[in-house]
Amino acid sequence: MIRGKNILLGISGGIACYKDLELCSRLIKKGANLKIIMTKSAIEFVRPLAFETMGKCEVYEDMWQGHHKEVYHIELSKWADVFLIAPATASTIGKMANAIADNFLIASYLACSKDVIIAPSMNTQMLNNPATQKNIETLISYGVKVINPESGILACNTIGDGRMEEPSNIVEYLEYYFTTKDLSGKKIIVSAGPTIEPIDYVRYITNHSSGKMGYNIAREAKKRGADVVLVSGPVNPFEIKGITKINVKTNIEMKEAIEKHFASADGLIMAAAPVDYKCKEVSDKKIKKSGESLHLEFIENLDILKYFSSKKNNQTVIGFAAETDDLIANANKKLTSKNADYIIANDLKREGAGFNTDTNIASIISKDSVKNLELMTKAELANEILNLIR
C-alpha cells in the first residue's frame, strides 16, 4: 500500500522530467507523502513550482538553499521510506555508482540508508554504452533496484530502449514494492472474463464480463507475492507483469488451462463468467438468412467450478455467484451444488456492482457464515477474497 508512505523523489535532468508531474499526481492520489529533490539540469526542463504544486511538497534544489537548521541531505533520507530517482540520467547513474557527491541529489543518495529505486531515461546509445551498463550493474550490486526503461520513440527522434517507464507503471511498481508478501510460496489460479461458445463459423454467444474482477484478483495476488496463473477469456482490461497468463475462448479451453496447474495450486478463484449453454450442433459454415425464424438448440455447458471442486485436495476453491435476484439464497445453493469452499455473491443489478465496473458489492458466503461487504473497489474486494486462501 502506498497510502501514508514517505517517498523521496529525485529528479535528474532528462526530458522525461515532464512525466514526473503525472507521477506526482498519481502518487498524491494514492495517499503518498512526497518530498522532491531536483538537480540544476532538471530545473532547466521543468520549474520547481510545477512539482511543488503537483507533489504538494517542498522541492529541494541545492545544499545551500535557505538557512536550514538540519542537515537536509541526512534528514531527507531519515524521513523517506524509499528514495525513487526518476528520471535517472546517465550522468546521475554514473555519479551514484562512483560516489561523486557534487549535487544535493547525489549527496542525499549517498546518505540514504533506505531502499533506492532508479528509473533510467536516456538515448539508446547512451544506455547501451558499456560505461553506463557497468554503472547500472554496479548500482544493482549495491542493492539499488532498477525500473527498466521501455522501448519506443525517444526525444531524439529515434526508436529504441531508453524511455523512462510510464508513471502508471512506476506507481504499480511502488505498489508492489510496498505490499507485504504474505502469499509468497502460494500458487493461485484465477479465471477472468467471459468465455465464448460458437454458433456457426462467424457467430458466438457470450456475456458482458469485462474481466476487471478477475484481473484485479490476479494483480493483487501478484503484489502479495503469489505465483499467479491467470486464465483469461477474450478480454484484456489491463496488463499484469510477472504472472503466467493463458488466453482461452471456450469453457473446455478454460478447464484444460486450469487443469495443467490445479494439482500444484493452493487456490482456485473462479471470477470468470463461463457461458452456461452451448449449441448442440455448431455449423462449420456461416448460417444463411432464410426469411424464416432460426431455431437453435442449446445444451448445458461444462461447469468448470463444479469440476474442480470435485477434484480438490488441499486447494481452497472459491466461486462467484452473479445474480439478479434472491442473491444470498441462490449463492447458498451454488455453494452446496458446486461444493466450493466460498462463494462471492454479487448482485448484478446493484449500482456499482457486477459487470464492467471498477467497484463491486459482495457477500462472502461459506458453509457457516455470510459476511456482507460494503461498496469497494474491485482491488479491495480482491484482497478480501485473497485473505480466504489457506
How many helices (H) and strands (E) the chain has is answered by 14, 22
Give the type of residue at 43: I
Contact between 274 and ligand PMT by CB under 6 A: the answer reads yes
Contact between 270 and ligand PMT by CB under 6 A: the answer reads yes
Question: Is 112 a known active-site residue?
Answer: no
Q: Which stretch binds ligand PMT (CB under 6 A): 35-43, 49-57, 170-178, 354-362?
A: 354-362
Cα separation, 229 vs 187, whole angstroms: 8
Smallest gap, in angstroms, from Cβ of residue 386 to ligand PMT?
A: 15
Contact between 301 and ligand PMT by CB under 6 A: the answer reads yes
Cα separation, 254 vs 196, whole angstroms: 10
Contact between 211 and ligand PMT by CB under 6 A: the answer reads yes
Q: Are 119 and 10 in contact, with CB atoms under 8 Å apart?
A: no
Cα separation, 193 vs 124, whole angstroms: 38
Smallest gap, in angstroms, from Cβ of residue 243 to ligand PMT?
A: 17
Contact between 272 and ligand PMT by CB under 6 A: the answer reads yes
Smallest gap, in angstroms, from Cβ of residue 269 to ligand PMT?
A: 8
Residue with smaller CB distance to ligand PMT, 137 or 358? 358
Backbone angles phi, psi at 18, to 5 degrees: -60, -30
Strand partners, 195: none
Torsion sign (Cα): 167, 180, 190, 359: negative
Helix or strand holding residue 187 (H, E): strand 187-192
Cα separation, 27 vs 219, whole angstroms: 18
C-alpha cell at 149: 526503461
Smallest gap, in angstroms, from Cβ of residue 44 to ligand PMT?
A: 45
Site string for ligand PMT, 224-253 (x = CB under 6 A): ---------------------------x--
Q: Which residues have CB under 8 Å from 217's CB, separation 6+?
A: 190, 192, 269, 271, 382, 385, 386
Q: Which stretch binds ligand PMT (CB under 6 A): 92-100, 103-111, 300-308, 368-376?
A: 300-308
Q: Which of residues 305-324 bind ligand PMT (CB under 6 A)?
A: 305, 319-322
Contact between 273 and ligand PMT by CB under 6 A: the answer reads yes
Residue with smaller CB distance to ligand PMT, 57 or 270? 270
Q: Which of 17, 57, 156, 279 is catalytic?
A: 156
Cα separation, 56 vs 83, whole angstroms: 17
Residue with smaller CB distance to ligand PMT, 77 or 209? 209
Contact between 354 and ligand PMT by CB under 6 A: the answer reads yes
Contact between 298 and ligand PMT by CB under 6 A: the answer reads no
Contact between 364 and ligand PMT by CB under 6 A: the answer reads no
> How big is the chain, counted in residues?
390
Q: Alpha helix (H) ranges present in 113-211?
A: 124-128, 130-141, 167-178
Contact between 262 and ligand PMT by CB under 6 A: the answer reads no
Site of interaction with ligand PMT (CB under 6 A): 193, 209-213, 251, 270-274, 276, 301, 303-305, 319-322, 334, 346, 354-356
**Residues that are catalytic:** 156
